[in-house]
Amino acid sequence: MILEENLDVRTITLGVSLLDCASGTVKETCAKVYGKLTRLAENLVKTGDEISREFGVPIVNKRISVTPVAAVGAPCCRRPRDFVKIAETLDRVARRLGVNFIGGYSAVVSKGMTPADEMLIRSIPEALAATERVCASVNVGSSRAGIDMDAVRLMGEIVKETAERTKDRDSIGCAKLVTLCNAPDDNPFMAGAFHGVTEGDAVINVGVSGPGVVNHALKSCRGADFEELCETIKRTAFKITRVGQLVAQEASKRLGIPFGIIDLSLAPTPAVGDSVADILKEIGLEQPGAPGTTAALALLNDQVKKGGVMASSYVGGLSGAFIPVSEDRGMVEAVNAGALTIEKLEAMTCVCSVGLDMIAVPGSTPASTLAGIIADEAAIGMVNQKTTAVRIIPVAGKGVGRRVKFGGLLGGAPVIKVSKFSCAAMINRRGRIPAPIHSFKN
């Protein structure tokens, strides 16, 4: 599984509460943040490497997530630039410790924005342009609160500005920015990871992967009925999750930090043989995007969760199947073949783990259209009581058909077409979309 099928532990993520770092001045807050993170995460990378060598399991990323910075900086930040100083501190921590990314430059504004929330959101373009390893996220809605459309409109503008500020690097800042609905407090995957206020002081969360393992297993049941197909996926997910459970327990013991959850998401990479799209083909689709794609993805997502929850008592985060276009070679091929459009991807997000993820669109796309795409995904999450997200990249200076290349796990993708019809009049309305009737459960 490891040598031939790309099985890996995608990330060990150390979640850290920074609530006790909040102080009356930005300088003091930054000093406390730097001190606490370097103390708690000093051995994170070393420990991950040791576990990887001893057990022979690749651990691709070591990451940190922190309390939403909007809450940490609220007592001291008086302007967006003050929040940027905290982002720069987080980036220094990440560089010193050698972690791949640090998440939590975030605000949770499901029902409205405080002045601090709005300042942090407005600081995101500068923060992501000025840092290398910081990831930002904003939660704009939930099934219990509805959707804050003022925040959605603002996020359309922020995505557009972030793209412009990093246009010399194919607008890569947007690859580190995600807008969510129903964001979980314990997600170990970037860019949406943050350490929720319901969590303890520090916790170890592990994200496993293994689409290549599932794809290989399905080759043994070609032509079989759906029962055998589902049983094969469940058994494989169980094995993958047990590997993650072992790594999580070892990391927790060696670091002296409690174990939180296993996120058993199938997270693809640009590597050959490590693709969720290939699994969909093995199920029986000529290309992802063909009729039947949403049903196949629903089957895959459900069986992965059913197999995983038998392997660990603490499954959390997102868990299921990711469909990030630029990070999945098979998805890129489907886009190039004309089989996969942004509209079909949106339909698929109704049944998978996240949403419209790592999609490159023309740089000329209006901010209101970006906000409309965010609103659509938030509505899917709100009504279906699941996490949805948008990580969309309006690549400055590039149009449909051009290619972008981000490198590493972020991969690269063609720029795809979005609707030319405007939603600006809707987006410019003020206020909130109310929560659905089934949200009232008290």
| Strand 102-108, strand 59-66: pairing | parallel
User: Cα–Cα distance between 323 and 319 in angstroms, integer?
Assistant: 12
Of the listed ranges 55-59, 385-389, 421-425, 428-432, the one predicted with least confidence: 55-59
More confident residue, 432 or 321: 432
Q: Are strands 134-142 and 102-108 parallel, antiparallel or unpaired?
A: parallel
pLDDT in tens, 135-155: 999 999 999 999 999 999 999
Average pLDDT, integer, range 167-193: 91
Q: Tell me the percentage of the chain whose pLDDT exceeds 90.
A: 65
Rounded-to-10 torsion of CA 17, 23, 28, 32 = -20
How many Å apart are CA 272 and CA 223, to the nearest integer? 24
Q: What is the pLDDT of residue 142?
A: 95
According to DSSP, the residues that pair with 346 across neighbouring strands are: none
61 strand-pairing partners: 11
- Name all contacts of 347-351 with Cβ < 8 Å and 24+ positions apart: 347/294, 348/293, 348/294, 348/297, 348/323, 349/323, 349/377, 349/380, 349/388, 350/294, 350/380, 350/384, 351/294, 351/297, 351/298, 351/301
For residue 218, what are its two tokens?
């399905």
CB-based contacts of 406: which residues, under 8 Å, 6+ apart?
170, 172, 175, 326, 412
> How confident is the model over 383-397, as a mean pLDDT?
93
**Each residue of 423-440: pLDDT tens digit?**
999 999 999 999 888 877
- Judge contact between 355 and 349, C-beta under 8 A: yes
pLDDT of the residue at 326: 84
pLDDT in tens, 251-280: 999 999 999 988 888 877 666 567 889 999
Of 55-69, 74-88, 400-414, highest mean pLDDT: 74-88
- Determine which of 34-48, 351-365, 371-385 has the lowest per-residue pLDDT on average: 351-365
| pLDDT at res. 6 | 56
- What is the arithmetic mean of pLDDT over 69-78? 95
Burial string for 419-429 (b: 16+ CB within 10 Å, else e) reads: eeeebeeebee
Cβ atoms within 10 Å, residue 352: 24
Q: Two tokens at 210?
A: 């293994």
pLDDT digit string, tens, across residues 341-363? 999 999 999 988 778 989 999 99
- What number is the average pLDDT over the span 62-89? 96
Q: How confident is the model at residue 3 (pLDDT cuts 50, 70, 90)?
A: very low
End-to-end CA distance of the chain: 46
The residues, any chain, with a CB within 8 Å of residue 248's CB and separated by 6 or more, are 12, 204, 205, 206, 259, 262
**What SS3 state is found at 320?**
coil
Residues contacting 328, CB < 8 A, separation 6+: 268, 269, 270, 275, 276, 277, 322, 411
What pLDDT digit, counting tens, does each position of 288-298 carry? 999 999 999 99
Measured N-to-C along each axis, helices 115-130 and 80-97 cross at an angle, to the nearest 10 degrees, of 50
Q: What is the DSSP string of 323-356?
A: --STT-HHHHHHHHTT---HHHHHHHTTTSSS-E
Structure tokens at 179: 């807008």
Q: Indicate the average pLDDT of the chain.
A: 90
What pLDDT digit, counting tens, does each position of 192-217 carry? 899 999 899 999 998 887 788 888 88
* Short-list 63, 79, 88, 74, CA closest to 18: 74
pLDDT band at 100 (very low <50, low <70, confident <90, very high): very high
State the pLDDT confidence band at 312, using cuts at 50, 70 and 90. Answer: confident
Alpha-carbon distance of 390 to 385, in angstroms, equals 16
| CB-count burial class (<10 Å; 0-12, 13-18, 19+) for 437 | exposed
pLDDT of 72 above 90: yes
Calculate mean pLDDT across residues 404-429. Answer: 90
pLDDT at residue 243 tops 60: yes
> Which domains are delineated in the chain?
1-437 (3.20.70.20)
The pLDDT value recorded for residue 352 is 82
User: Among 25-29, 56-60, 191-195, where is mean pLDDT lowest?
Assistant: 56-60
Q: What is the pLDDT of residue 383?
A: 93
pTM over 0.85: yes
Residue 66's CB is within 10 A of a number of other CB atoms, namely: 27
> What span, in angstroms and rounded, lies between the C-alpha atoms of 148 and 431?
6
Find the mean pLDDT for residues 229-233: 92
Would you list the DSSP string of 219-271?
A: GGGTT--HHHHHHHHHHHHHHHHHHHHHHHHHHHHHHT--EEEEE--B---SS
